[in-house]
Copies of this chain bind each other. A is one copy, B any other.
Amino acid sequence: MQIYKAPVKDMRFQLEAFGYDQVQKLEPFASYDLDTVEALLQGAASFATDVLLPINRSGDEEGLKWEPETGAVTTPKGFKEAYGKMVENGFVGICGPEEFGGAGAPTVVGVCMSEMWTAGCKSLSMCPGLTTGLVEALVAHATQEQKETYLPKLVTGEWGGTMCLTEPQAGTDLGILRTKAVPFEDHYKVTGSKIWITFAEQDFTDNIVHFVLGRLPDAPAGIKGISAFVVPKKTLDAKNNGVICSGLEHKMGIHASPTCAVEFEDSEGWLIGEPHKGMRSMFTMMNGARLFVGMEGVALSEIAYQTALEFAKERRQSRSLDPAKRDKEAAADCILVHPDVRRLLLNVRSTTEGMRGLGTWAALQLDLAHHHSDEKVREEADDLMGLLTPVIKSYFTDRGFLNISDAMQVCGGAGYITDWSIEQYLRDERIAPIYEGTNHVQALDLVGRKLPRHGGRALQVFGKNVAMLIQRCAAEEKMAEFTEPLGKSLEMVMGVTAELAGKGMADPEEAAAVASNYLDLFALTALAYSWTVQAEHAMKNAGPLSDTKVKLARYFFASILPEQRSLAKIIRAGKQHIMAFDVEEL
């Protein structure tokens, strides 16, 4: 049983609350007014529920087939057809550049659509996700000729794209990767072994274009000697290019998403960007991808919430503690009367909608950063986006995991058996804190890069937004229950940040030891911002959702935000008790 009603209404609410009007004013998005966007989202929603959801569970159970002799991968029944419809509907290219066949929609639209597809079938939706990442890297770094060669097929999804970074000895530490590229005619021949490459082989598309990190013969050691290449599975004259999938991983979840070992043997490749500057192209791919991965936590929280709610509505066990709520016609009451069932459900929903708001805000910044005419606006949007990206990737995926577990708990034994699929969502979600840079890598990015950059400018921009919101709400007495704790929460983050900057300057291990906890601390303030924005919008725009939104905000402030108190204490304890152990003692 899979239950999912796509949250298009909430998405529209978030777009309005977080200022979609600013994006719609941008010249390239003139035709994307909110009603148009809602209609697009509705189309994506139908696709998620009618096409993707029906193959999600069967895909998990059937899994993938791999042919050792040819390296061919067969996806589960119905996947190829579903992907084909995705291409047909123009979904893969929804945000792609119009000159290469895309629809040129704002990124925020793509983020919303992707959330629904992930809920419908995470395994399948990873494929267009990767292709989109490659498109972004090529748009930013490829030559015009390269763009003309690859983009028309990639933008539409007729070809697939991948991201070949990891090698057996080089995961988080790409500096030690060994794949080699030697000059050949006007391009290169690439040789090396990559592992954990998502959709490096599939039966969806005629060709697959691999984005490969490797080293040129004259490359300096380490991260500064890495170059980026595109290596198609088949060359343009349709010959095999020495790329073979040499095996699939057996995983806890995402059973229908091939995680491939790939061998490149003298495969023809073309340099993207400058020699030894491959990390730039990689980060272009990664940064967008991290926002999308963060939203996977939201997507699976949402479907797990809806499933648990549906279960709870039907399930009767025990009596309400409040005699007035007892159903005298039945032997037991609906479990929604029980406070703890509500607590679990509200943990999930309040964080899910808080995160959706924050993700929407971040995606809007991405559109502003790319397209606004005012440089100052672009800069601030880029600062914010840079600051929020690691927070979203890490906090959303960790919270997603906890949320699905809470949803499972609502269902008791029914949550643990396969019938209700929550157990699949939990298995599918657990990879998200690991891939696209582990969550601690995100924390190091936040603490070591995003915070100190430009003298701490990004955090100031964030603080300014919070202050503006508090000021804007000052006249509305009813908002004080949110703006006061939001203000205190920001103060706490600012204080902890200043202390951490001092300690980290003197000893980088001090910063690294608490970076993950710091990221969570920051995320909670960002979510408090998200809920204050939503409460403000709800109060200003009376509607059926408004009361509920205010109640959800209240729940968040009472039951989730207080986690900051513990985090602040743990952060202030520093590294001493962590680093005190000899290796032999561990």
Query: Which residues of A are interface residues toward B (Cβ below 8 A)?
Result: 166, 169-173, 175-176, 196, 249-253, 259, 309, 313, 316-318, 321-322, 331-332, 334, 336, 338-340, 342-343, 345-346, 349, 401, 405, 408-409, 412-413, 415-419, 423, 426-427, 430-431, 433-435, 438-440, 443, 508-509, 512-513, 515-516, 547-548, 551, 554-555, 558-559, 562-566, 569-570, 573, 575-581, 583, 585-586
Contacts and interface: CB of A to CB of B under 8 A. Distances in A.
B423 A435 contact: no
A415 to B, nearest CB: 7
A345 B440 CA distance: 14
Contacts of A427: 252, 423, 427
B566 A562 contact: yes
A426 B429 CA distance: 13
B585 A573 contact: no
A426 B250 CA distance: 15
7 contacts: A172-B317, A173-B332, A176-B331, A416-B434, A551-B585, A559-B578, A562-B570
Given A332-B176, A515-B340, A309 B417 contact: no
A318 B564 CA distance: 30
Contacts of A408: 430, 434
A417 B250 contact: yes
Closest 9 pairs between A and B when the two form their complex, measured CB to CB:
A252-B423, A339-B513, A562-B569, A173-B317, A558-B573, A321-B508, A565-B565, A566-B566, A173-B318
A410 to B, nearest CB: 10
A564 B309 CA distance: 29
Per DSSP, chain A at the interface is: helix
B339 A509 contact: yes
A565 B395 CA distance: 21
Contacts of A252: 416-418, 423, 426-427
Contacts of A171: 317, 412-413
Contacts of A309: 586
Contact of A551 (B316, B515, B516, B581): B581
A251 B405 contact: no
A566 B560 CA distance: 9
Contact of A412 (B172, B249, B516, B562): B172
Given A249-B413, A562-B573, 10 more contacts: A171-B412, A175-B332, A250-B417, A259-B417, A309-B586, A340-B516, A342-B586, A409-B439, A413-B435, A416-B434
Given A340-B516, A417-B250, A558-B570, A172 B318 contact: yes
A578 B251 CA distance: 37
B196 A413 contact: yes
Contacts of A331: 176
Contact of A342 (B417, B418, B515, B579): B579
Contacts of A342: 513, 578-579, 581, 586
Contacts of A577: 551, 554-555, 558-559
A517 to B, nearest CB: 8
A249 B569 contact: no
Nearest to A423: B252
Contacts of A321: 508-509, 512
Nearest to A424: B252
Contacts of A338: 512
A548 B585 contact: yes
Most buried by B among A334, A413, A576: A413
A509 B417 contact: no
